[in-house]
Amino acid sequence: MGSNCSRSRIGGFMRGVSSAILTAFLEAAERVESVLDSTVVAEHWEDQSALEGYTVAGLAGHLARAVLTAEQYVDAPAPPGTVEATDAAGYLIAVLGDHDPVDSDFHRRVRARSHDASAVGAAALAQDVGRARRRLQEHLDGSTMDRRVEVLQGVVLTVEEYLRTRLVELVVHLDDLAVSVGEENRQDLAQDACEEAAVVLIQVAMRRHGALAVIHGLARRERHPEAVRAF
């Protein structure tokens, strides 16, 4: 049930094609549903996860919320047109900021919500994700991707850009969950989802460190031996 990326079932992936973003998100959400309903996750439910501060249950809750909150936000009333919209990278920078990933109040609240979500148990959580995914599939299509939504901390972005942030969450935390239960070598997610998550993370890294630092980090290890990270 690991999260290594397999070849796409969608076909050639192009950034900016709204239907491809939606399809990649829905496929990743379906994979989350399957993983949460797996025997191996249930067996490790109370164990500590690979993500500091989270049990496997809490990490599962956090992963599920990437789908559950998407439904909540895309169904909310549109924000005033005067509010400037950002993109996926701008959202991640604005919301995550420089919060310590373990000890900050922000991440303590995130962990608390994640653990609360997991209280229903793995099977019920998987069912919740499945119901949310099916409702999103019925509600969203290519024509709704440009609709503006207001999300966490009042950040405004289009549905398409918000789903790009959800792809980052799903790709990163499916990998965390796979490592946590000892199944990191399976190939589960479509290449499209992984590529889109990588694009967003590179955009975040460039805005934090500058494009040249990212290029050096990727291509010139002798000049820049330290990793250049998005977070």
**Structural domains for the chain:** 14-189 (1.20.120.450)
pLDDT class of 183 with cuts at 50, 70, 90: confident
Q: Show Cβ contacts of residue 29 under 8 Å, excluding neighbours closer than 6 positions.
A: 67, 129, 132, 133, 136, 170
What digits encode the pLDDT tens for the residues 63-81? 999 999 999 898 888 888 7
pLDDT of residue 172: 93
Contact 3, 178 (CB under 8 A): yes
Stretch 169-173: mean pLDDT, rounded? 94
pLDDT at 14 over 70: no
CA distance 48 to 55: 4
pLDDT at 5 over 80: no
Stretch 124-147: mean pLDDT, rounded? 94
What digits encode the pLDDT tens for the residues 86-127? 999 999 999 887 766 667 787 789 899 999 999 999 999 999
pLDDT at 228 over 80: no
Buried b (16+ CB within 10 A) or exposed e, 142-151: eeebeebbbb
CA count, 13 A, side-chain hemisphere, 73: 26
Stretch 30-40: mean pLDDT, rounded? 95
pLDDT class of 9 with cuts at 50, 70, 90: very low
pLDDT of residue 102: 67
- State the chain's mean pLDDT as an integer: 87
pLDDT of residue 199: 95
pLDDT of residue 7: 43
pLDDT class of 189 with cuts at 50, 70, 90: confident
What digits encode the pLDDT tens for the residues 190-203? 888 999 999 999 99
Query: What is the 3-class SS of 53-72, one letter each residue?
Result: CCEHHHHHHHHHHHHHHHHH
